[in-house]
């Protein structure tokens, strides 16, 4: 599955990109900018998950379900099991979201288009409702997350940033390996013609289910990382429909052209939001909406299409 993957241009560029972001964030940039990079990388994982689904024409309006579930899994593991180790935290976040995705996948794999999108939203709102009412999980106030550790030592902000970079690189490698595989190529094939895929002997529902679980794992991982980075989880900032909306927003803004696009888009989004809030605290959503409109009108392929026009990697789509 991973044979020769490190020699592939997409992965080499991806690793270089993450290195630059992490180095900038830890050594050069001020803390507020560094935070934007860190949150952008973390959130980019969830966007990568959405992008993988989107390549089959499946748009989830409720991916905050897995993002929030991963984040709350980290909070609960800390509260009930005392887990603060960052490796365990990310494994728990991914596993919890993956398991939930596996269960719900049996329902969602039968739906397409708006029904898939709205059913995803419905499930995320069910979780939101449960979390907002569950006092043992902090209700609407949420729960705080203690600093992450690694092998018993506190990781610190820089250490966590390196760890996030490491997880992002692993995710890029996994996502690329999946998309270049026969199973991954079914992504586009299913979008083109489900009947033919069935007559080639493969279950479309099974292919979608696998893709859905991968997507859930990535979103759960993103939630786990964000929980560790923010030190706080609550239903409004992790599971509410507007969080799902932001993820869809970033996916459109980033474009589907490359697995690196979600991370570029997510970082870009963090900066737009910061500056929009700074310049127009009462109307920052209008600036964000305007940005999305500009991208849809002038860069329908997303930000990545701009890179494709000006950089030498434009031929590769993985």
Give the binding site for another protein (CB under 8 A). Answer: 1, 3-4, 177-178, 180-186, 188-189, 191-193, 195-196, 198-203
Q: Which two tokens stand for residue 244?
A: 């799902």
Give the list of residues 6+ apart from residue 59 with CB closer than 8 angstroms, or none. Answer: 50, 53, 116, 117, 248
Q: 30 or 201: whose CB is closer to another protein?
A: 201
Q: Considering the complex, what minimum distance in angstroms separates the CB of residue 302 from another protein?
A: 17
Q: Considering the complex, what minimum distance in angstroms separates the CB of residue 311 from another protein?
A: 23
Q: 28 or 195: whose CB is closer to another protein?
A: 195
Cα–Cα distances in angstroms (integers) from residue 170 to residues 39, 90, 182, 299, in the given order: 17, 12, 20, 29
């794999």: which residue's tokens? 109
Cα–Cα distances in angstroms (integers) from residue 270 to residues 34, 278, 309, in the given order: 11, 12, 24
Q: 202 or 241: whose CB is closer to another protein?
A: 202
Q: 62 or 105: whose CB is closer to another protein?
A: 105
Sign of CA dihedral 191, 194, 198, 203: positive
């180095």: which residue's tokens? 23
The 3-state DSSP class for residue 27 equals helix
Q: Considering the complex, what minimum distance in angstroms separates the CB of residue 56 from another protein?
A: 12
Q: 182 or 282: whose CB is closer to another protein?
A: 182
Q: Which two tokens stand for residue 44?
A: 């980019």
Q: 128 or 212: whose CB is closer to another protein?
A: 212
Q: Indicate left, alpha or beta for 231 from its phi (over 0: left) and psi (-120 to 50: alpha).
A: left
């Amino acid at each position: 599955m991973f044979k020769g993957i490190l020699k592939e241009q997409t992965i080499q560029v991806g690793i270089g990109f993450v290195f630059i972001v992490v180095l900038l964030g830890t050594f050069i940039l001020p803390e507020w900018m560094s935070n934007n990079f860190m949150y952008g990388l973390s959130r980019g994982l969830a966007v990568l998950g959405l992008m993988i689904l989107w390549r089959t024409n499946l748009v989830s309006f409720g991916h905050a379900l897995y993002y929030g579930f991963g984040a709350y899994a980290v909070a609960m593991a800390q509260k009930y099991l005392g887990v603060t180790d960052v490796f365990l935290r990310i494994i728990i976040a991914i596993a919890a979201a993956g398991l939930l995705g596996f269960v719900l996948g049996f329902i969602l794999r039968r739906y397409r288009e708006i029904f898939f999108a709205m059913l995803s939203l419905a499930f995320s709102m069910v979780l939101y409702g449960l979390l907002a009412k569950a006092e043992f999980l902090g209700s609407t106030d949420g729960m705080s997350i203690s600093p992450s550790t690694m092998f018993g030592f506190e990781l610190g902000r820089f250490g966590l940033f390196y760890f996030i970079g490491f997880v992002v690189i692993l995710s890029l490698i996994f996502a690329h390996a999946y998309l270049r595989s026969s199973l991954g190529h079914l992504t586009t094939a299913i979008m083109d013609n489900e009947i033919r895929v069935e007559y080639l002997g493969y279950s479309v529902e099974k292919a979608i289910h696998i893709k859905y679980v991968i997507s859930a794992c990535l979103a759960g991982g993103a939630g786990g990382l964000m929980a560790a980075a923010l030190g706080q989880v609550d239903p409004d900032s992790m599971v509410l429909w507007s969080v799902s909306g932001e993820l869809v927003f970033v996916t459109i803004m980033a474009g589907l052209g490359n697995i690196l696009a979600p991370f570029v888009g997510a970082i870009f989004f963090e900066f737009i939001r910061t500056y929009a809030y700074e310049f127009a605290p009462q109307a920052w959503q209008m600036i964000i909406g305007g940005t999305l409109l500009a991208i849809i009108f002038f860069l329908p392929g997303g930000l990545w299409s701009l890179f494709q026009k000006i950089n030498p990697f434009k031929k590769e789509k993985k």
